Amino acid sequence: MKRIAVLVSGGGTNLQALIDAQKRGEIHNGEIALVLSSSSKAYALTRAEENGISSLVMRKRDFPDRDAYSAALAETLTERNIDLVVLAGFMLILTENFAKAFPNRIINVHPALIPSFCGEGFYGLHVHEAALKAGVKLTGATVHFVNEVCDGGPIILQGAVAVKEGDTPEILQKRVMEEAEWKLLPKAVSYFCEDRLSVDENGIVHIAEEKE
Ligand code: GAR
């Protein structure tokens, strides 16, 4: 059984999608062992508690800088024998060293079709604001491995979502979550736990057939 840590900062609807998938038996060979929040006020912590999942708060402001914060985070996850780190609405950019400590073992969900609307500054509602401003007719979500480039790691799964007349960033965010994020993230996590994901020398992810 692979031990999964879910890192959150806010509402935690993606965490909820993972918890629900786990309850339905859809996370094969994995269990959510820890929820780690960058904020003590995150509603995601209530979701963890309601579901009997251990949680921890680690705030960046309690550390001298991003390096120290990322190093402490990596240490905590290593101490707890975490196999897979899932960034589910985790709003802090971690250091290169953090990514290197868990090579192809960190998964992020991003609310756009990477390489569009991604990188530093593109998070949460800002992503949907940018998509609406650009007038794209299709957006979506991407689940990818995290490497040292912000939102630049190998892509695991993507799902397209239509932009509709009259969309606000909030309406679009909700549609992208419902139609893409909440489905793709649990699926990618299960693939990882089943050892079905591999990354080739060009940084392309391959998904192996389900084992009998
Ligand atoms: C989600 O839309 C997630 O894709 C996004 O923040 C939201 C968190 O919602 N993440 C990023 O923008 C990271 N770059 P949640 O807390 O309800 O899961």
Residue nearest to atom 15 of ligand 1 (CA): 12
Q: Determine contact, residues 39/120, Cβ cutoff 8 Å.
A: no
What mean pLDDT is predicted for residues 126-151?
A: 97
What mean pLDDT is predicted for residues 91-96?
A: 91
Q: Does ligand 1 have an atom closer than 6 angstroms to the CB of 109?
A: yes
Residues 163-208 have pLDDT tens digits of 999 999 999 999 999 999 999 999 999 999 999 999 999 999 999 9
Domain ranges of the chain: 2-207
Has residue 212 got a pLDDT over 90?
no
Residue nearest to atom 3 of ligand 1 (CA): 89
Question: Can you give the pLDDT at residue 211?
Answer: 75
The CATH code that applies to domain 2-207 is 3.40.50.170
Q: Does ligand 1 have an atom closer than 6 angstroms to the CB of 90?
A: no
Beta strand pairing status for 155-162 and 2-8?
A: unpaired
Does an H or E element contain 58, and which?
none
Q: Does ligand 1 have an atom closer than 6 angstroms to the CB of 153?
A: no
Mean pLDDT of all residues in the chain? 97
Query: Could you tell me the sign of the dihedral formed by the alpha carbons of 199, 200, 205, 209, in that order?
Result: negative
Question: Can you give the pLDDT at residue 120?
Answer: 92
Give CA–CA dist 89/166, Å, rounded.
25
Instruction: Give catalytic residues, as residue numbers.
Output: 110
Given the CA of residue 11, which atom of ligand 1 is nearest to it?
16
Mutate to test the pocket of ligand 1, among 6, 7, 14, 41 (most ligand atoms within 8 A of CB): 14
Q: Does ligand 1 have an atom closer than 6 angstroms to the CB of 12?
A: yes
Q: How far apart are the CA of 88 and the centre of ligand 1, in A?
A: 6
User: What's the pTM?
Assistant: 0.97
The residues facing 4 across adjacent strands are: 32, 84
Give CA–CA dist 153/104, Å, rounded.
9
